[in-house]
Amino acid sequence: MTATETYKVGARSGVGVSSQRPDAVPKATGEFSFSSDLSSHNMLWGKTLRSPHPSARIRNIDYSEALAISGVHAILTASDVPGKNLFGLEHPDQPVLADDIVRYAGEPIALVAAEHPEIAADAISRIHVDFEVLNPLVDAESAVTADPIHPEGNVIRHLVIDYGDPTSSGDVTVEGTYEVGMQDQAFMGTESGMAVPSPDGSVDLYISTQWLHSDQNQIIEALNLPEDMVRLTLAGVGGAFGGREDVSMHVHLCMLALHTGRPVKMIYDRNESFLGHVHRHPAKIWYRHHANKDGLLVKVEGKIILDGGAYASTTSAVLANACCFSTGPYKVDNAQIEGWGVRTNNPPCGAMRGFGNVQTCFAIEAQMDKIASALDIDPVELRLKNALEPGDQIITGQKITGAAPVKEVISSLADHPMPEPAINDLLARPGGTGRTTDQKHVKRGVGFAVSIKNLMFAEGFDDSSEALCEVNDGSVAIHTACVEVGQGFVTLVHQIAEEVLGVSDITVIPADTSIGSAGSTSASRQTWMSGGAVLKACEAVVVNLIEQIAEEEGVKYENLDGALVSEDGTKTIPIAEALRGRSFQEKVVHRHAPTFPLDEKGQGNAHVSFAFAAHRAVVDVDQELGLVRVVEIATSQDVGRILNPIQAVGQIEGGITQGLGLAVLEELVMKNGVIQNANFTDYLLPTALDTPPIEIASLIEEPEPGAPFGAKGIGEPPTISSTPAVVAAIRDATGLDLRRVPVRPEDIALE
């Protein structure tokens, strides 16, 4: 299977085929309503005043001039927060509106509601804040011992993994310090939503998010309202990638709507979007790898520092991932890992696709290449030698009980044919339209990298998803709170329901908080969790159907491949047919097998399941100018089972492109705590011309025990090892060390 072969979306549904997204047509015509497309009669526009300083004390806020502007209906500050002025995804440590102190540049201070966005912006510019500017703490390493910038201290989490024999050593050691810059999710649809107040003092919030119920829990605390007074409905989401897991404008919108008694809409512009959501943690990582002469890993020592920015967000969980998988998809008997997630006056960092594994994978894979070079072993062979196998332990002492086709992933990719030389066109070379590079300046390089990613939440979190299956005379409606961010969950709902019930008339009820939590659309978990819940709900309908028929006819039926077969085998009724004229309502909650916290030595069965991927990048480099053109990225991935091939390809191609972005383009450039490029002019996403054809060498379908249909999450692995593969290819072409991503032209040309 290669991505260049033509896939076509088919009309047939059911699991395993490329059925069409139910929202494809409205998205193609422009009719699909995103959260920024909401409007309401009598609506006001909200806007946020943010701190220009990364660290300052607020002496006074004077908004009298702003409030006097005609068309301005409300200006709210910290003192207007009705409940607790704190929120946070893992625990509340971040003010809804800054009170006395601002801890990052971009922190919200005041809110405006006005008749027109221009008026709101004008009002914002006339709110006068008297700041006492303080010296920001911007260096993550010194944050560990620096004066605390927050009552909870600067170390959000310190994690030690002490595994095996610390005195062990290998025949060779390789050592290196690596850095990862601050990447951004940069979803296309910026934060937006609308809050609509009710006369009873309750509020409806229509919002793009990743996790409705987590938002709701945080909002009710801040508004001091009971759960049923704050209702959330998902509005169309323009991508997420982790950046919508945290609350952004949610509480603000509700406050403005409740205060003015009018619907309030807010849209962040691109600049504000960069300030308004968390980013990928910048990391500094030191490693010493020990191997014996034949290349087997003996011990890994590592120190990992993640810059969490001003507030905790998911830093604690990101650090756990970084540390738990800090030896990669390789078997090693001894590991000494120490990690810190720290607080600084940089922008808050949290979830982004790959979640902690991205940072360490970049460093691990560089180390693996160094070992290969030190021992003169082929890098692919070295990885095969050390690859984890089913039954092996990872460094937390957890045994891999599910599928772990690491060797198959590596070998199938290594066997994939290499691309042709680039075509003879300036546009196809490094530099692109800039016409910088002639063929004689180009050197080609190849790099290989492998990754591991845990699927679903970890460390004892009670992870669940609820689904309702409603059958009415042959038509089926499915309700969950699972957020569709573009990944195609809505398609899977159709496929799963049709697979079980044989019915094609299926409606996906909009996700909202009137049903139980589905958990977050993150951690590669929704196919397993909400897909699993939908599967169980549909299956529960069939069980009830069989019972009903048994009562009516006195005959026992069994479900065989979508048809009910009578005990004596004489009668067969397709389920779809049997459902006609009947009604069912089945609600189920689905959980995965429990996980457990890590102990003081970082040991424990903290994770549910693991997925593996390998990437091979081919690049053309113009070393003198430091310009890189990625020619091809090929991949093999452990997917468990493919439920929708075309959606799987879409996830893989998109994920790899984000990995490519981190390798050579994407970084929020910081200067003393302030982002220098919070716009699309200078935060450079890969364009179509920067993105190479993606070759899928192999998707390994080895069903995962316990997973619905055996399917593993596939969203994150493409983003993890694609970055180190690209950098390895640049090293291969240039002979340079390259310890930092993104690799900038000057990192190559001036070395």
Partner 1 sequence: MIMEVLIASSAEEICELLGQDNSRQLLAGGTDFMVEVNYRHRSPSSVIAIDRVPELRNWHHDGDSVVIGSCVTYREIERGPLATLVPALAQAARTVGSPQIRNAGTIGGNIGTASPAGDMIPVLSALGAEVSLRSSEGKREISLDDLIVGVKQTSLGQGEFIESVRVPVLESPQEFLKVGSRSAMVISVTSLALITYPKTQSVGIGLGAVNPRPTRARQAEEFIKDFLNWESMQVDPSGLDHFKELVSEASRPIDDHRSIAAYRRHSIGVLAQRALTRIFSERSPSV
Partner 2 sequence: MSKVTQDHLNVNGTKFTIDDSWLGESLLYTLREQLGLYGSKNACEQGECGSCSILLDKALVCACLVLTGSAIGRDIKTIESLAPEGSLSVIQQAFVDAGAIQCGFCTPGLLVTIEDFLDDNAEPTELEIREAISGNLCRCTGYGRIVEAVRIASKASTDTQGTADDGN
**Residue 643: which of 568, 573, 712 has the closest Cα?**
712
Partner whose binding site includes residue 749, from partner 2, partner 1, none (CB under 5 to 8 Å by kind): partner 1
| Angstrom distance (rounded) from CA 230 to CA 211 | 15
Partner whose binding site includes residue 485, from partner 1, partner 2, none (CB under 5 to 8 Å by kind): partner 2
Residues 29-58 that bind partner 2 (CB under 8 A): 29-34, 36-37, 39
Residue 54 Cβ, how far from partner 2 at the closest point, in Å?
24
Residue 717 Cβ, how far from partner 1 at the closest point, in Å?
26
Residue 670 Cβ, how far from partner 1 at the closest point, in Å?
9
Partner whose binding site includes residue 23, from partner 2, partner 1, none (CB under 5 to 8 Å by kind): partner 2
Angle between helices 526-553 and 489-501 (to 10 degrees): 20
**Residue 186: which of 240, 107, 267, 247 has the closest Cα?**
240
User: What residues make contact with partner 1 under the rule CB under 8 A?
Assistant: 118, 121-122, 125, 269, 271, 427, 431-436, 438, 441, 624-627, 629, 664-665, 669, 671, 676-677, 681-682, 684, 686-687, 689-690, 744-746, 749-750
Partner whose binding site includes residue 189, from partner 1, partner 2, none (CB under 5 to 8 Å by kind): partner 2
**3 state SS for 191-210:** CEEEEEECCCCCEEEEECCC
Residues 104-133 that bind partner 2 (CB under 8 A): 117-118
Partner whose binding site includes residue 677, from partner 1, partner 2, none (CB under 5 to 8 Å by kind): partner 1
Binding part of the chain for partner 2, among 244-252, 452-460, 500-508, 678-686 by CB under 8 A, reads 678-686
The answer to whether the CB of 483 falls within 8 A of the CB of 521 is yes
**Residue 450: which of 392, 380, 400, 359 has the closest Cα?**
380
Rounded to a whole number of angstroms, the CA Rg of the chain reads 27
Helix (H, G, I), strand (E, B) or coil at 76: strand
Contact with partner 2 (CB under 8 A): which of 122, 141, 392, 653? Answer: 653
C-beta of 33 vs 687, nearer to partner 1: 687
Residue 576 Cβ, how far from partner 1 at the closest point, in Å?
49
C-beta of 123 vs 296, nearer to partner 1: 123
DSSP tag of 87: B
Binding part of the chain for partner 2, among 99-107, 437-445, 475-483, 690-698 by CB under 8 A, reads 690-698
Q: Does 6 bind partner 2 (CB under 8 A)?
A: yes
Q: Is the peptide bond before 745 cis (omega within 30 degrees of 0)?
A: no
| Angstrom distance (rounded) from CA 562 to CA 501 | 7
* Beta strands at 279-280 and 349-350: parallel, antiparallel or unpaired: parallel
C-beta of 95 vs 655, nearer to partner 2: 655
Q: Does 206 bind partner 2 (CB under 8 A)?
A: no
Angle between helices 315-324 and 357-375 (to 10 degrees): 20
* Beta strands at 506-509 and 557-560: parallel, antiparallel or unpaired: unpaired
C-beta of 572 vs 676, nearer to partner 1: 676
Partner whose binding site includes residue 21, from partner 2, partner 1, none (CB under 5 to 8 Å by kind): partner 2
The answer to whether the CB of 685 falls within 8 A of the CB of 665 is yes
Angle between helices 645-664 and 722-734 (to 10 degrees): 50
Q: Does 189 bind partner 2 (CB under 8 A)?
A: yes
Q: Does 67 bind partner 2 (CB under 8 A)?
A: no
**Residue 348: which of 320, 390, 393, 307 has the closest Cα?**
307
What six digits make up the tokens of 334? 């001894």
C-beta of 593 vs 669, nearer to partner 1: 669
The answer to whether the CB of 405 falls within 8 A of the CB of 638 is yes
Query: How many amino acids of this chain bind partner 2 (CB under 8 A)?
Result: 69
C-beta of 73 vs 343, nearer to partner 2: 73
The answer to whether the CB of 191 falls within 8 A of the CB of 313 is no
Cβ-based neighbours of 21, under 8 Å, separated by 6 or more = 9, 27, 488, 490, 491, 647
Partner whose binding site includes residue 625, from partner 1, partner 2, none (CB under 5 to 8 Å by kind): partner 1
Partner whose binding site includes residue 676, from partner 2, partner 1, none (CB under 5 to 8 Å by kind): partner 1
C-beta of 43 vs 144, nearer to partner 2: 43
Q: Does 242 bind partner 2 (CB under 8 A)?
A: no
The answer to whether the CB of 592 falls within 8 A of the CB of 608 is yes
Helix (H, G, I), strand (E, B) or coil at 414: helix
C-beta of 42 vs 681, nearer to partner 1: 681
DSSP tag of 419: P
Q: Which residues bind partner 2 (CB under 8 A)?
A: 3, 6-9, 18, 20-21, 23-25, 27-34, 36-37, 39, 117-118, 185-190, 236-241, 267, 269-270, 423, 425, 427-428, 433, 485-488, 646-647, 649-650, 653-658, 679-681, 685-689, 691, 693-694
